[in-house]
A and B are shown apart, each in its own frame.
Chain A
Amino acid sequence: MTLPAGTDAVRQSLASFRQEREADWKAFEALLARVEKRAPRTLSEDELLSLPLLYRSALSSLSVARATSLDSALVAYLEALCLRGYFYLYGARRGLKQRVGDFFLRDWPDAIRDLWRETWVSVGLTVIGAIAAYWLVASDKRWYDAIIAPSLAGGRNPDSSAEVLRTVLYDSGSGHFLSGFAAYLFTHNTQVAILAFALGFAFAVPSVLLILMNGCMLGALFQIYAAKGLGFELGGWLSIHGTTELFAIAIAGAAGMRIGTRIAFPGELTRMAAAAQAGRAAATAMVGVMIMLLFAGLLEGIGRQTITSDATRYAIGGGMLALWIAYFYLVRMVRHGNG
């Protein structure tokens, strides 16, 4: 074989290069457009098999075009086509069903287990906040207003009579709007949890403060009830949904702390890689947190107002806590397949 003699021969060979392959590119483009719109199931078996072949042929066309052709529009077209093909063929394309299954069987408990240290810190901070606020309000009741905003207190304050406080616990005050209330609580709590997570990136400081503050509110509320001899009853009122909700918020805070501490102390990885790794693990935990908050919202909106027996309230709250702990920490699911 001899080299092309002149410019005409070069033109000829490049024109035929394009003519010969153009049909393949067009076919690949059409298939891609179809699989990007709808599920791959709509393709016939032959079309599915031809997809990787056409992709590789487009890649080789790109290599040839880059080396020999100076038609920049052609090279740009092939680059865009190959990139689309690459994303489609090498993207994580597991089915939705499998993804959901994996999430509940493995990813979610794994992510929570992975955060166990931060979760302990989170729980510890809540307890410290609660004890501190209890002590503060007990020593000077003006602290109560400083800790719990009057709009949130809903008429409950250190000067309320035991009767008023008891009414809040057992009367289904907004009884006619229960599930609406539950939906509102769920969305509100989730937004708070997302904040606890997202703020963690500022070296975990805001997450720590948020969790501490949450504990403080708990302690302050508890003190005014305990002072009137209603501590046990408040415990039941809180626990029916609170075990789930507080646990979820603690995990959200833990996820935030994980991100913040990994950015501050990346260890062997680069700061960027450490942040990315922590962010992904924490994000999985956060989806779990939202599911927990959905449960908590349902329990709070429906269960708390309709169930007024202390024992039942404690039983449901304790049962939920046991359920979550068992699911996250005790029961290890069998790893299936290549896991």
Chain B
Amino acid sequence: MATARNPAALIRPLVTPEGVDLRVKLADAGTRAAAFLLDVVIIVTAAIVVSLVVIFGLGGLGVKEAEPLFIVWIIFIFLLRNVYFIAFEAGRRAATPGKRIVGVRVASRSGAGLSIDQVIARNLMREIEVFLPLSIIAARGGAGVADTLSTIFGLVWALLFSLFPLFNRDRLRIGDLLAGTWVVEAPKLKLVEDLSLRQDPIARRFHFSPAQLDAYGIAELYKLEEVLRRDDYFAMKAVAETIGHKIGMTIEPVDSRAFLTAYYGELRAHLERKLLLGNRKADKHAR
């Protein structure tokens, strides 16, 4: 799958009226499936809880008094099935609880605000994408006539629609296609520490010549940043050995963290200086 190999394939331009490209990232299929499953769990749990309450309510009351309860129940189930997604996505965050948990939201492909008719269109289509094939299987099964053929037909139908996002560039469901929407990642990120400001007494001992700093480019710097933030002893030891080998220094394993911190700080400042002078060194192969 293209997604796994190249995350950049999911980046789309979103130019604000101020002229800045925010580069939104489309949510990948796994994230969306996870969000949908979370929502299904919430819906089913709510339905079961309410049904239990109604069943016990009906048991305690006579049929006459139970009628309002029955109405409330039937409307509630209807709302759960049809309005849950619409109400949450039309809200302030444009995301259902499941989407909120995995950090994605629905956005209009035009870049303008999401309107309510778009939310309705994309969610009514869910009816034929998921609920119809499933209810065909359930109904045939309930009537005891679920032959292999109709079960296969239902499953193929459901699969076809649920895999549809994998077969187009923009990861659109049928509902997204008809509503003019897509699902983008909108994570809440914390502002984290600036690694090059890290104070380390051992790190001050390391000094690097310009030749040693020229060994790597921006891509390697980002990898190094990732390793440092992960703070895993063995990963840092391996990376420190590799870098040390490349720039001709020997580093004791206990010093690898301090060494990497020092090298990261120096390399970043070195590359940022080049950046200021208009020279973006993409990776170690760039001249």
Q: 1/0 contact trace for A74-90 toward B, CB 8 Å?
A: 10110111111011001
A7 touches B120 (CB 8 A): no
Is A25 an interface position by the 8 A CB rule?
yes
Is B43 an interface position by the 8 A CB rule?
no
A183 touches B75 (CB 8 A): yes
User: B273 contacts which chain A residues (CB < 8 A)?
Assistant: 4, 6-7, 10
A198 touches B124 (CB 8 A): yes
Question: Which of A59, A91, A278 lies in contact with B114, CB distance below 8 A?
Answer: A91
A154 to chain B, nearest CB (A): 18
* A83–B104 alpha-carbon span in the complex (Å): 12
A3 touches B107 (CB 8 A): no
B120 to chain A, nearest CB (A): 4
Is B39 an interface position by the 8 A CB rule?
no
A252 to chain B, nearest CB (A): 10
User: B225 contacts which chain A residues (CB < 8 A)?
Assistant: 71-73
A306 to chain B, nearest CB (A): 15
User: B187 contacts which chain A residues (CB < 8 A)?
Assistant: 80
- Secondary structure at chain B's binding surface: helix, strand, loop or mixed? helix
A198 touches B128 (CB 8 A): yes
A287 touches B127 (CB 8 A): no
Which residues of B from 63 to 78 have beta carbons under 8 Å from A?
63-64, 67-68, 70-71, 74-75, 77-78
B185 to chain A, nearest CB (A): 9
User: B188 contacts which chain A residues (CB < 8 A)?
Assistant: 80, 84
Q: 1/0 contact trace for A55-72 toward B, CB 8 Å?
A: 010010011000111111
* A325–B282 alpha-carbon span in the complex (Å): 66
B179 touches A11 (CB 8 A): no
Which residues of A from 128 to 168 have beta carbons under 8 Å from B?
none
B190 touches A77 (CB 8 A): yes
User: B125 contacts which chain A residues (CB < 8 A)?
Assistant: 198, 201, 279
* A199–B23 alpha-carbon span in the complex (Å): 34
Is A259 an interface position by the 8 A CB rule?
yes
Is A335 an interface position by the 8 A CB rule?
no
A68 touches B195 (CB 8 A): no
Question: Which of A7, A59, A278, A279 lies in contact with B20, CB distance below 8 A?
Answer: A59
* A282–B188 alpha-carbon span in the complex (Å): 34
B125 to chain A, nearest CB (A): 5
* A297–B87 alpha-carbon span in the complex (Å): 23
Query: Size of chain B's interface in residues, with CB distance under 8 A?
Result: 73
A103 to chain B, nearest CB (A): 8
Is B245 an interface position by the 8 A CB rule?
no
B265 touches A87 (CB 8 A): no
B58 to chain A, nearest CB (A): 11
A11 touches B124 (CB 8 A): no
* A90–B196 alpha-carbon span in the complex (Å): 36
A77 touches B94 (CB 8 A): no
Nearest neighbor of A182 in chain B, beta-carbon distance: B71
Nearest neighbor of B181 in chain A, beta-carbon distance: A276
Is B197 an interface position by the 8 A CB rule?
yes
* A80–B125 alpha-carbon span in the complex (Å): 30
B72 to chain A, nearest CB (A): 9
Is A228 an interface position by the 8 A CB rule?
no
The interface stretch among A14-22, A119-127, A316-324 is: A14-22
Is A314 an interface position by the 8 A CB rule?
no
User: B227 contacts which chain A residues (CB < 8 A)?
Assistant: none
Is B113 an interface position by the 8 A CB rule?
yes
B127 touches A194 (CB 8 A): yes
Indicate the member of A6, A70, A77, A82 with the most B CB atoms within 10 Å. Answer: A70
8 A-B pairs with least C-beta separation? A279-B178, A276-B180, A92-B113, A283-B121, A7-B269, A91-B113, A283-B120, A187-B78
Interface residues of A (CB under 8 A from B): 3-4, 6-8, 10-11, 14-15, 18, 22, 25-26, 35-37, 56, 59, 62-63, 67-74, 76-77, 79-84, 86-87, 90-93, 99, 107, 176-177, 179-180, 183-184, 186-187, 190-191, 194-195, 197-199, 201, 259, 272-273, 275-284, 286-287
Interface residues of B (CB under 8 A from A): 14, 16-18, 20, 22-24, 63-64, 67-68, 70-71, 74-75, 77-78, 82, 92-94, 105, 107, 109, 112-118, 120-122, 124-125, 127-128, 132, 174, 177-180, 184, 186-192, 194-197, 218, 221-222, 225, 229, 265-266, 268-273, 275-277
Beyond the given A71-B194, A283-B179, please list 6 additional residue pairs across the A-B interface where CB-CB is below 8 A: A11-B265, A73-B192, A86-B14, A180-B74, A183-B71, A283-B118
